[in-house]
Structure formats: C-alpha cells, structure tokens
Structure 1
Amino acid sequence: MKGTLFLLLSILCLHGYAADVNVKDFGATGDGTTLDSKAIQQAIDACTKQGGGKVIFPAGKYLSGTIVIKDNVTLLLQKDALILGSTDINHYDNIDPFMDGLGIDVGWALLVAVDAKNIGIEGEGAIDGQGSKLKAQHVLTDTRGEAKIWGRRPFLLRIVRCTGVTVRGVSLYYAAAWTSHYFQSRQILIEQVKIVSHGVAHNDGMDIDGCQNVQIRDCDVESGDDALCFKTTSSTMACKDITVTRLRLKSNQAAIKMGTESMAPFEDINISHCDIYDTRNGGIKLLTVDGAHLRRVNISDITMKNVRTPMLLRLGSRLTVFRKGKDTQQPTGSFDQVVIRNVKAEAAADAQLKPPSGILITGVPGHTINNVTLENIEISLAGGGTAEQAHHAVPEAIDQYPEVKTFGPLIPAYGIWARHVKGLKLKNIRFHLSSPDLRPAFIAEDGEQIELTDWQVSASAGTESIVRFENVRGAVVRGFTVKGKAAAFVKTEGEASKGIKTSKAKYVKADL
C-alpha cells in the first residue's frame, strides 16, 4: 500500500512539473544580441500544449520582438534574467488594435496575451523595452512627427480579455509607449512589481482598462506619464471590483487617474495607503467624459509631496469613441458617490495653475457632479493670488480633453473651486499658505446642497471673503477657524442663490 501511494504521488509530481520548460532548451541564446523571439515562442507553445506550467528564463539577456503568452503559462524570470525589447519596430505585432484618448492608433506590444486563462509573469528578473533607443531608430524612417507616430511603438505588456492573471515580483523598465495595459480581463493580481518607465512620451505605468476583480498591492511606480490609470476604451465592460493598496507613485503626469478614456462605468473601486511624490500634474484625477458612470469610488489614506495640483474631479461631454466600428457615441455620463478621505498634500509652488490651487471639481451645464464627500483633507499651498484673480471666469471646456490645464492657467479659489455640483460634503478641511493669497478658500458656482463643516483656513489682508457662493441653492457653513481677517466670511452672489445657512467663524492670529 505504501509503495502504491508513493508511486501515485511520484506520478502526480511528475505531471505537475512535466510542462515546465527552459527557453534555452528551445534555442534561446540570452546573449543580448541574437533575436530570441522564435525560440521563446516555441517554448511557450510547447508548454501550453502540454497543459501549462512555467517557461523559465535563466540569467541572461533575451532580445525579442512580440511574444504571445498562452493558456496556463507563467513566465518565470529568474534572478538576472532580462527580456530586452528589440529596437526594430518591425519586430512587433498589434493583435488587438484600438485608439487612445488622443485619437492615436495603438496596441503593438512586446509581451501580449489575448483570450488566455491562468497566465502569469513572475520572478526576480526584469523586462526592458529600450524605449528611447527604439524611438531613435523609429524616427529615422518615419518623419511625420511625434504626435502622429508614437502610437506605432510597442507597449511593454498587454493583457487582453484574459482570466486569471498574476504579475508578481518582476521589474518593468523603459517602455516605448504604455508600460502595462490590462484590457477587459478578470481575476488579476499585480503584486510587488517595480516600474521605472520614462524617457519617451506616453510612458503610463499601469493602465487598467475595463477590468474586474483586480488587486494591486505593494508596487513602486516611476512613470513618465500617468502612474496608475483606470480606463474604459470600450463601452462593453466596466472597471469594477478593484482594490489598490500600498503603492508608491511618481509621475510626470497624474499619480492616480481615472477616465481619460471613459465609455463603460467605473464602479466599486477602493484605493488606500498610497504615497505620491514628485508628480508634475494631478495627484488624484477622477474623470468621466465619454459617457461612463463613475460611482462608488473610495480613496483614503494618501500622502502627496511636491504634487502640482492635488485633485481634479471632472464630469464632461467629450464623447469620443475609441474602438471604431465596435462602439457608438454615448450620451453624457454621471459622477456619483465618491468619497476621498485622509489626504495630506504638499502642493508644488511651480504648478500648471498660477498661482496654485488645491482641488478642482466641475461638471458641465445640465450635468452635475453628485454626492461627493471630501473628509480630513490637509493641503499646503504656495499662495500668491490677487483680488483681481478671485473673480476670474473659468472656461467650461465642455467637450475638451480632461486636464488641469484645460481650466487654467488660473482658478479663482486657492483651496477648493466647485462648479455644477450637487450634494457636495466637505468635512474637516485644512489649508496652509506659505504666502498671502487674496482669493477665497472656497468658491461654488451653480451648486445645490453643499455642506462645509470644520474647516481651518488662512485669510490675507484685503481678501473679499473666505467663502463665496454663486447661484447656489441650499448650503450649510459651520465650524470654521480662520487665521487672519477678510472683509466678509461668506459672500453670496447670483439671483438663483437661496437657502444658505452660516454660523460665525472663529478668527485667530494669522501666521503670515
């Protein structure tokens, strides 16, 4: 009996590891100069044909064009193993073409999986797209200009309509376009991944595009473009049931972004305990401009240092279609039930808004941002605003690309500016100024049911008001502590304004 059991266990073990293959057994050289694409693909094909397993990359440099990952295959990059992207653009394929938010055809990739299940990339090794070198070769033969040709360059990793995806432990370097793009896939785990990708345009870190049941944790991202970006480039599958925690994010654009491409909903997304630093655009940018419903999004416990504009919340009506022939234009979407709490931010003095502002919230006429709660928010700002700037009219930009600079270069409030909002709750908000600013701490234009409670703000000599309401129907203002003095605490303008209730502010000696 014991002998039979041992034989059975031995057979099971053999079957469990029989499909594991080594890319060198299929002719991969790992010398960094020989193109190993064919050998790597043969190893993957053999592995999946036998029922799946690990495709092992020992230490070495594996030069490659497009590699297709297939069912039940995990690429295991051992220590000092490096998959090196070819600098010849003709070595890459586009298996699932689409158009990005700027109207550029994209989708080529170094590593790609399409309609696969139970796949992964794991280990201590790395993948390097050699983005700058590839671009240098590309522009020698395609001279149409960067704005038109960048989309031809490959993403580092594309996961398309897959189920059961694990990316763990590996490092992703220097993509020629987006670093990693996950499209309409389910059951995704991204864990302990390091991304360093900059040097060419559009180096997004992680793009989660219409995916569900996603966990992202303990990752470190330094990106030339958006670091963590949620998209829905198709109307047929929402970004839903997503948990993100313990990320470090650095970006030349946005750190946490949702909705540059926004056709299907963004729902039930929870992001927490992230550190954002040295980010040259928005810290948190939540957007829906192509018909998506953005709802039940919770973000908490975020720190930001040297971030140009801490937050932008936008509902717009650009209404672009990204997959031509597969989708049709949608009506304006909705923005509802968003909670952002426990955020501490140090805003950069050198910002795209001059002087800097903390938070922008804006819908469009006839379409309000609804039921947003900001709680326990503390932001340090440079100041510098004038009394004249406090009455600057911000463009509606109804159908424009959703960006901070779209509404700039000036916002009339230094703290929070809100327009076309309903059910806005702002609790325990603190703003610190490094220099005097004569703009209000808060302005609402075309709002309804607004609550401001327990604020601590600064006011500079010559400030017209701390809070200004323009055509606001129903507001409560209470529990304010003001450092300094202003001509008025709350100022109400517009024929539509009514039902505004305020309690007295507590004034204390100013720091400035």
Structure 2
Amino acid sequence: MNHSSNKPLSRRNWLGQVTTASLGTGLLGVSSSSFSPGQIRGNDAGARVYNIRDFGAKGDGRSLDTKALQAAIDACNKDQGGMVLVPAGVFVIGTVEIKSNVTLHIASQGVLLGTADGKQYYANDAIPLHGDSTLEDGNVGLIYAVKAENITIEGNGTIDGQGAQFRSPSKDMPPPAGISGPQRPYHLLFHQCKNLTVRDIFLKDSAFHSIRVIQSAYVKMEGLHIHSRIIHNSDGFHFISSEYVHVSSCDIQTQDDACALFGSCKFVTVSDCSFSTRWSVFRFGGGVAENITVSNCVIYQTYGCPIKLRCGPGSRFENISFSNIIMKDVTGPISIGLASQSRRPQDAGKAPGVVRNISFNNIQATVVLPVPLPDAGFLSSYRPGEMHSCIVLNAMDNVYLENISFNDVKVTFPGGGTAEQAMQEVPKIAGEYFEIGTPPAYGIFARNVRGLSLQGLRLETAAPDLRPAIIFDHVEDAAVNGLSMQGQKEAASLLRFTDSVDVLLTASRVLTPVPVFLQVEGANNRNIRIDGGDLSKADKALGFSNGASEREVIFKG
C-alpha cells in the first residue's frame, strides 16, 4: 500500500531484489557443495541450522542485512523447516517475512535492529486494517507472517525497532525515518497464523505496537521482555480475533495498551506477568470476548486504568476472570462500560451489547494521582477525569451489566474528593474511563447492574474524601457481604443507593465516623435489607431523600 510520497517497495519488488546467497558451512557442518536450497538431504531434513552470516549478513550495525536474513528464512522454509540463527552482532534490517516451519533464534548477543530508513519497510495488502481509521493501525511489520504455521521466534537476543526515529520532533516536521502513522512497522506482525510461539526475546522501542496478532490460533507468548516507551501509541500485545492464546512469564513496560484484546478473542489465558504503562493494561473492545482468565499478575505504575472493558452494540463480553492481582500505583483501576448506542456510524442498527459473568478475585490495589512515567521518552499530560478515579461499572438506558462479582478485594484510594463532586451527575457515556469526569464515589460507582456480588471488600482512602464509598444507581439483585469502608465525618453518607431493588447487605463494618451509613434516594427502591454488622461509628444507620420510602428498607442491627 502507498500511504506517503515515499512509496514503500511492494512485496513482489522487494523479494525480487533478494538474491539467494551461497550456503557456507553451517553449525552442523553441512557445506554448500553437498546440497542446494530446497533439496532433502538425509535424516536431518527440517532440523538444520541456517546461520545468517553464511547468507552474507555482516552484523556490523551499519550494513543492511535484510536480504541475507530473508534468504536464510526462504532456504529454511524450502528445506522443510529448521532453525535460522542470528548469531552475535548487530544486524540492521527492514521488513522480513518469516515462513512456516521456521524457528528464528536470536543468540544472546544478537540484535535485529530495525533500520531508520523508512523506505526499507513495506506493507502487506493481505493483512487487513482494523480500527476506525488507518491512523489507528497498519499492516507493516519489521518481521511478519501471513497464513503461516509452526513459527517460533526465540532466544535471549534483542529486536530493536528504533521507535524514536518514527516520532516527529514537532507537528510540522516529518520523523527522521520519513514515515509515520500506519506506515510505521510493528516489531512482530502475524495474520491468520497457526501454532505461533514467541519466547524469551527482548523487544525494545517499537515504532508501533510491539506484537500484533490477527485472526490466529494456538499462540504462545512466553518469557518476553517488552520495553517500548519512546512513541505515543506503542502497545505491548495487541490480539485481534484470535483463539487459544496463552501469555505467561512476561514483563511489559509500554506507553499504550499493554495487552489489548479486540475483535473476537476466545480461550485466552494470561498469567505470571508484570505490566506498567501510561494507558491501560487489559483493554477489551468490540467483537465477542469470552472464556478468558488473567491470574497471578503484578500491575504497577499504570496511569490509564489497568482493566478496561468497552462493550458497544453487537458485541459480547462473557466468562472473564481476573484473579490474584497486585496493582501498585495505578489509576482507574477497573472500568466496565456498556452502551445501548454507539458513537460509531458502523454500529447503527446493531443489537445492544452484552456483558456478563465477569469476576474479580483476590485483588490488592493502591490507586494514586497520575504522574509521568519515569523512563518514558516524553512527558504525558492528564485529563481532569484522570485525576480522581474509582471502580466504575457503568451501563445505561435499557441495558444492564449482568453477574459481576468482587471477592476478597482491597483498594486504597488517594482521596481528595469534595462534597460538590459527590453530587455530580454521571453522564451517560460508556467511553474512556475519564470521560465521565470525577466520579461521585471514591470507591465503586455502579449503574445499571443486575446480579452484583461484593464479598470481603475493603475500601480505604489515603487522604480525606467527602464522596460516598459506594454508589448504587439502578442496581438489581445485589449481595454485599463483609464490606469494610472508611468514610468522613463531613461526608453526607458512606453509601448511597438510588432506585435499586433486591439488595442485601450483611456483616458490614464502618471503619471511621460517618453521619449516615446508607442514604436511600428515589421512589423506585424496593426490598433493601441490612442484616448485622458493626455500624457503631455511624451517627445514623439510614437517611432518605427524593421520594425514598422507609418501607422499602428492612434493617436488622
């Protein structure tokens, strides 16, 4: 594709420039005189090593080694597969295609360095664009594969995308590499691949997303270190409509979404990883996301909502579990949005989205005011809605979030909320978490939720906060047990329920003095029950306003 006046080479022209280098003596002692590429030679077919230096690669950090690397991959693929070896050295490359049955092994002191010459990258038209605009994604990879099987990229070496070369010094100037927007290369780009493994590599400074996987199956990402904070929209993992995906033992530091799941992603596990980013860690958007677990992860220095689900018309998010997660110094920290209508024209006429069976178990979180990431290549600005945040469960109109549960969750919030903020109306927006402005609760704001379970929840603030700990707005069928909350004497109430039905609170604990435990508002509340607990630090158990009736609350002290 051509996205600029500096037209990238087409794949056909590019591969036409690749010359087949002579094969020297490889690691297995096979010389070029004994075979030619594509010829089957004895019992080691499919298991040979192809050292890219034997194909003419210099590895001096200056010479362009794209042709040599591509020639080694082509020879390996034609010979029923094997290992392409990147030995010690710095090998400068442009776009390279990895093919079926090839293992690309980068030695510990080996570096694949993406060239700063934008003309050395090309798009693959077989890879579709995704998103609302071509400014949001592209189809250019430093290393890419299309409809390939049995691919592995491994080793303790490095793939360096030189992302700073693709960032414009100012709006009026092109970046040093000469290409920007969707023409920038991802570290790794895979489309409709099967049996894909990437492990142990250090992926550094991508010009775009680090790993983008589209419509692929049986994918493993293991032991990776991704550090990419040199350009604004540098995602870590970006999975689109992929199935049987497993991410484990990875350490990710990015500027944008650390692990995005878009389209229809199913049968996904993420475990034993650490994440830090300016934006979100787990971001869900569009399609059908189901049967997904995230467990045993550490999230730190994340200033854009660690867990963010945005469900619009025609989409469904179901059977998703987050468990055993530490969040240290984050904003957000959890935001789920469901809208009956979309701001996107292409969603017109679609049925409302569905969000159900989402669980959060054993989560410890410290929420803070956002600050610049210490190792980013530039400073980040923050919107007013990002300065104070809470757990947001937000549906609206005639749609409801269904069966959302929190079990054994402790969150400390920064505090600082005012009495004026406590009375703010939340706009009917299911967009980014900050678009609702400062939420009127410091802990949990839940609107249009049916089937809500809060078990063993503890909410505290590091500084005084005059907002309620929890607000229920049109919540139905809620069971709240073992709730411990910190409030303020100057606040109006600790809890506020508006037009909520069939709510049971048992074994609640008020940790600090408050004037009212529960303020009930509106004429449409029904069957609210309070059973047991320690409310001794509340001056009053109940308050009523805006047409709320005492008959709808059953209190057993």
Task: With the length of structure 1 as denominator, give the TM-score of the two structures.
Answer: 0.89
User: Retained in 2: the 8 A contact 1:319–1:332?
Assistant: no
Q: Could you tell me whether the CA contact under 8 Å between 1:100 and 1:106 is conserved in 2?
A: no
Matched, 1:333 2:353: yes
Q: Distance in 1 between matches of 2:170 and 2:216?
A: 31
> Residues 328 and 194 from structure 1, CA distance in 2 versus in 1: closer, same or farther, beyond 3 angstroms?
farther
Q: SS where residue 69 of structure 2 aligns?
A: helix
Is the 1:357–1:416 contact (alpha carbons within 8 Å) kept by the matching residues of 2?
A: no
Shift of 1:65: 1.0
Tell me the residue number matched to 1:185. 216
Matched, 1:15 2:35: no
**1:64 alignment partner, one of 69, 77, 93:** 93
Q: 1:328 to 1:97 in 2, by over 3 A?
A: farther
* 1:39 aligned residue: 68
What is the match of residue 438 of structure 1?
Answer: 466
Superimposed CA distance per residue, residues 320-377 of structure 1 (whole angstroms, 9 cap, x where no aligned partner): 489xxxx997433210101111000011134854763330111131121111111111
User: Percent of counterpart pairs with the same letter?
Assistant: 31
Partner of 1:336, secondary structure, is strand
Q: Is the 8 A contact 2:272 2:296 kept in 1?
A: yes
Pick one of 295, 300, 311 that aligns with 2:334.
311
Report the 3-state secondary structure (helix = DSSP H, G, I; strand = E; otherwise coil) of the residue aligned with 2:230. Answer: coil
Q: Does 1:199 align with 2:219?
A: no
Contact 1:355 1:384 in 2 (8 A): no
Equivalent of 2:369, from 349, 362, 366? 349
Q: Write the distance in 1 (CA, Å) between the matches of 2:386 and 2:141.
A: 39
2:427 to 368, 388, 395: 395
1: CA distance between counterparts of 2:199 and 2:406? 33
Distance change (3 Å), C-alpha of 1:355 and 1:438: farther
* Aligned residues of 1:189 and 1:216 also touching (Cα < 8 A): yes
Partner of 1:246 in structure 2? Answer: 272
Q: Which residue of 2 aligns with 1:266?
A: 289
SS of the counterpart of 1:388? Answer: helix
Assess if the C-alpha contact under 8 Å between 1:319 and 1:331 holds in 2. Answer: no
Bigger strand fraction: 1
Find the aligned partners of 2:110 and 2:344 in 1 and give their Cα distance: 41
Q: Which residue of 2 aligns with 1:30?
A: 59
Distance in 1, Cα, partners of 2:449 & 2:429: 16
The residue identity in structure 1 corresponding to 2:189 is R
Q: Cα deviation per residue 1:255-314 (whole Å; 9 max; x = unaligned)?
A: 22222xx1x210100110000111111122122225321000011000011101211111
Structure-1 separation of matches of 2:395 and 2:337: 6
Unpaired runs of at least 5, structure 1: 1-10, 233-237
Matched residue of 2:74: which SS?
Answer: helix
Pick aligned residue for 1:113 from 127, 138, 145? 145
Counterpart amino acid of 1:293? R
**Counterpart-to-counterpart distance in 1, 2:350 and 2:134:** 17
Judge conservation of contact 1:86–1:134 (CA < 8 Å) in 2. no
Give the letter for the 1:257 counterpart: R
Instruction: For 1:362 and 1:291, locate their aligned partners in 2 and report how far apart those are by CA, in whole Å.
Output: 17
**Is contact 1:355–1:385 with CA below 8 Å preserved after alignment?**
no
Determine if the alignment matches structure 1 residue 454 to structure 2 residue 474.
no
Cα distance in 2 for partners of 1:141, 1:460 equals 52
Counterpart residue number, 1:383: 415
For residues 436-475 of structure 1, give each alpha carbon's deviation from its aligned partner in whole angstroms, at most 9, with x where no partner exists.
Answer: 2121111011221122211110111122222111121221
CA distance in 2, matches of 1:328, 1:140: 37
Letter in 2 for 1:258: F
Q: Report the Cα distance in structure 1 between the residues aligned to 2:70 and 2:348, rounded to whole angstroms.
A: 37
Q: CA deviation at 1:58?
A: 0.6
TM-score, normalising length: structure 2 = 0.82
| Deviation (angstroms), 1:99 | 3.4
Aligned residues: 480
**1:73-129: per-residue Cα shift (whole Å, max 9, x none)?**
111101111111111222212221413356625221111111100001011111000
The aligned amino acid for 1:154 is P
CA distance in 2: counterparts of 1:395 and 1:484, whole angstroms:
31
Distance 1:186 1:282 in 2: 28
2:306 equivalent to 1:283? yes
**SS of the residue aligned with 1:48?**
helix
Of the structure 1 ranges 425-434 and 131-140, higher mean CA displacement relative to structure 2 is found in 131-140
- C-alpha displacement of 1:164: 0.3
Q: Decide which of 247, 260, 266 is 1:229's aligned counterpart.
A: 260
1:128 corresponds, among 160, 164, 170, to: 160
Name the structure 1 match of 2:320. Answer: 297
Q: Tell me, yes or no, if structure 1 residue 161 matches structure 2 residue 192.
A: yes
SS of the aligned residue for 1:503 comes to strand
Evaluate the alpha carbon distance shift between residue 179 and residue 165 of structure 1 in structure 2; reply closer, same or farther with a 3 A threshold: same
Q: Distance in 2 between matches of 1:287 and 1:80?
A: 42
